[in-house]
Amino acid sequence: MSATSDLDRVTAIVLQLMRGPILVLLCVYAIGISGMALMPGVDADGNPTRMNLFHAFYFFTYTATTTGFGEIPFTFTDEQRLWATVCLYMGVVAWLYAISSIIRLALHPELLRAIAERRFARSVRRISEPFFILCGFGDTGSLLARGLSDQMIRAAVLDMDTERIKALRLRDYRVNMPGLCADASIPRHLMDAGVQHPQCRAVVVLTGSDEVNLKIAVMTRFLNPALRIICRDTDASHRELLATVGEVTLVSPFEVFAQQLDAAIYTPVLRAWEDWLVGDHAIDLEDPVRPPRGNWVLCGYGRMGRALHAKLRAHSSEISVIDRNEGLPLSGGKRILGHVDRNTLADANLADAVGLVAGTSNDQENLRILLSARAINPDAFLIVRQNHHENELAFNAADANLIMQPSLVLARHILLFLLMPSLGGLLRYLHSDAPHEVEGLVRRARERLPRGAPLLWSEEIGALDCVVPGCRERLPDVRVADLLRDPARRDAQLDALPLVVTRDGEATMLPDDDMVMLPGDVLLLCGTRRARHRLHATLRNPYTLHFLTTGEDPPRSWFFQWLCRRIGAPRALPAAR
């Protein structure tokens, strides 16, 4: 909806509710002023006179508000005092009616909604840096917004739940996150959220309804065909319908967790490093979680159970599945029908299994399964699915080896998609092509970077062949190690680790320090905010770049450049230590 339409809607609501009070006030004022002007009075000398319209308006104005400034311009007669009494009551009643109407107008839901939409659209239009649109602010949307905020990236949030939008406004985000309580599948709300904004990079669809997700994807594709759409994975029928919309990235938390569990079993350090990159402060890179290899018991054969079954059966000798739905097809492994209790766990041979997965869609059932499993095999590796974030305290007290929270898994995976697409290529490279480099990469990260989650960012390399004033020769080749020097101490390194160099669409994973950088290269790094600011400043200051590359600090002012040429001094002075 355009700004003009918004303004027309607000104006129509105001006129509709205030038309009656305004007419009442006009009538009361007209009657009171006319009567006061017609009432006979006397002047200071006792001569008959009448009050003019200006004095009548002035008197009625302060009388209607019960202020009272006395009788003007002369002492009133009994007729004037009688009419003044009538005016007093008429004015008070009229203003009480008008004030109550103003209060009703201020609380009118349609007016509040129109004002909120206008304020939201104005906030989005003012965004001057890249941002994303989050459709749905449940557990996943909240976690994703927190991750974006930690990376100093904004998002425009749409959600139909008023309480969720109120919670958004109370969050202590590092950047402003405008939010609106509205149906994201309505095109004008998507327009207000910036779907056609030049800085909008993607629409993330995270509502709990498959129909709404599909409608949002369709509307977004028509409003901005080039915009990227990332959607929560749905069932097979809606997946086929989304495929007709165009290029839509579908993300399933269960498929992602199955891949992560597979990586944790066979490359646990890489799995821990991936969580560390996306902001998990509790990850210990030196002692990551290591699920055992062997026989597993899966409790529940829904979407999570099927995804884990497909991964685990490729490496485990036996997979036992406990589920009460006999209509679900099972490809390989042992199946036990019924509820999960001690008898079915015993039939699944839990006593000899290395681990158990409580993966039903009911949190209470999953916690009960853990109690039964511990009674049969206290040494089993326990993985539990937590469906609702509000049950976090109970799941933490359960002391399971690994807690799978679909909203958290989904938020972290989408965060990688949004922030650094090249990071996904690096993780695939380390997982499949170079798993032997993981240990060295983690060791370098621990040596260069401080404790805590790092900051991920990309830096585009500009022109590097400029001639610095005061230097007759061009700048030599700039290496990765030169860029990561600290301008304050050239012999020290910034707290940053280069991960990927993208050149002409081709990515170089884990570049060496001696790699020569070229204009147009995009360097993906992880490190601290201080390192990011200093590297950003280095690339935009030819003097600093020359100093870090050559170790020489050329004269910067015109006078000293002329003086060095005049006296035949060296073209560059040694840098002060």
Fold of the CATH domain 3-107: Helix Hairpins (1.10.287)
The dihedral over CA atoms of 169, 170, 175, 176, expressed in degrees to the nearest 10, equals 20
Residue 5 pLDDT greater than 70, yes or no: no
User: Distance between CA 386 and CA 261 in Å, rounded?
Assistant: 16
Token match 């570049």: residue?
Answer: 511
- CA 342, 348, 352, 354 torsion: positive or negative? negative
Token match 């977004």: residue?
Answer: 220
Q: What HEC string does 116-165 produce? A: HHHHHHHHHHCCCCCEEEEECCCHHHHHHHHHHHHCCCEEEEEECCHHHH
Closest to 560 measured CA to CA, from 545, 548, 543, 577: 543
Confidence of residue 279 (pLDDT cuts 50, 70, 90): low
Residue 7 pLDDT greater than 70, yes or no: no
Identical fold between 3-107 and 111-251:
no
Question: What is the mean pLDDT of the segment spanning 529-544?
Answer: 85
Residue 517: DSSP 8-state: P
260-419 — its CATH code? 3.40.50.720
* Superfamily name with CATH number, domain 111-251: NAD(P)-binding Rossmann-like Domain (3.40.50.720)
- Lateral strand order in the sheet of 154-159: 179-181, 154-159, 131-135, 200-205, 228-232, 248-251
What tokens were used for 424?
Answer: 């996904």
Domain positions in the chain are 3-107, 111-251, 260-419, 450-567
Is CATH 3.30.70.1450 what the domain over 450-567 is classified as, yes or no? yes
Output the CA–CA distances (angstroms, integers) from residue 270 to 66, 82, 307, 495, 569, in the order listed.
77, 92, 21, 21, 54
Question: What is the mean pLDDT of the segment spanning 573-577?
Answer: 43
Average pLDDT, the chain: 83
What tokens were used for 104?
Answer: 């009703």
- For residue range 190-246, list pLDDT tens digits in order: 999 999 999 999 999 998 888 899 999 999 999 999 999 999 887 777 777 887 887
Q: Work out the end-to-end distance of the chain between its first and last CA atoms, rounded to an integer number of angstroms.
A: 61
CB neighbours of residue 111 within 10 Å: 19
Q: Which run of H or E residues covers position 347?
A: helix 342-347
Output the CA–CA distances (angstroms, integers) from residue 377 to 142, 299, 345, 346, 373, in the order listed.
37, 15, 10, 10, 6
In this predicted structure, what is the pLDDT of residue 386? 93
In this predicted structure, what is the pLDDT of residue 124? 94
Confidence of residue 576 (pLDDT cuts 50, 70, 90): very low
Residue 577 pLDDT greater than 50, yes or no: no
Is the whole-model pTM more than 0.85?
A: no
User: Distance between CA 274 and CA 291 in Å, rounded?
Assistant: 16
- For residue range 449-493, list pLDDT tens digits in order: 877 667 788 888 876 655 555 554 556 688 888 888 988 888 888
Confidence of residue 572 (pLDDT cuts 50, 70, 90): very low
- Judged on CB neighbours under 10 Å (0-12, 13-18, 19+), 2 is exposed
Closest to 350 measured CA to CA, from 310, 298, 303, 403: 298
In this predicted structure, what is the pLDDT of residue 229? 92
In this predicted structure, what is the pLDDT of residue 544? 82
- For residue range 133-178, list pLDDT tens digits in order: 999 998 899 989 998 898 788 999 999 999 999 999 888 898 999 9
Q: Answer for the pair 335, 348: CB distance below 8 angstroms, yes or no.
A: no
496 CA to centre of own chain: 24
Q: Answer for the pair 52, 37: CB distance below 8 angstroms, yes or no.
A: yes
In this predicted structure, what is the pLDDT of residue 82? 92
CB neighbours of residue 530 within 10 Å: 13
Tell how strand 381-385 and strand 355-358 pair up. Answer: parallel
Question: What is the mean pLDDT of the segment spanning 327-332?
Answer: 68
Tell how strand 319-323 and strand 296-299 pair up. Answer: parallel
Question: What is the mean pLDDT of the segment spanning 551-575?
Answer: 59
User: Distance between CA 43 and CA 40 in Å, rounded?
Assistant: 10
What tokens were used for 274?
Answer: 């991936």
In this predicted structure, what is the pLDDT of residue 181? 93
Residue 570 pLDDT greater than 60, yes or no: no
300 CA to centre of own chain: 32
Closest to 198 measured CA to CA, from 229, 227, 155, 157: 227
In this predicted structure, what is the pLDDT of residue 468? 56
In this predicted structure, what is the pLDDT of residue 574? 46
List, in sequence order, every residue forming a beta bridge with 368; answer none if it has no partner: none
- For residue range 380-422, list pLDDT tens digits in order: 999 999 988 889 899 989 888 888 888 888 888 888 777 777 7
Confidence of residue 335 (pLDDT cuts 50, 70, 90): confident
Confidence of residue 573 (pLDDT cuts 50, 70, 90): very low
User: Distance between CA 263 and CA 290 in Å, rounded?
Assistant: 10
Residues listed for the chain: 577
Confidence of residue 317 (pLDDT cuts 50, 70, 90): low
Strand stretches in 98-139, DSSP E: 131-135
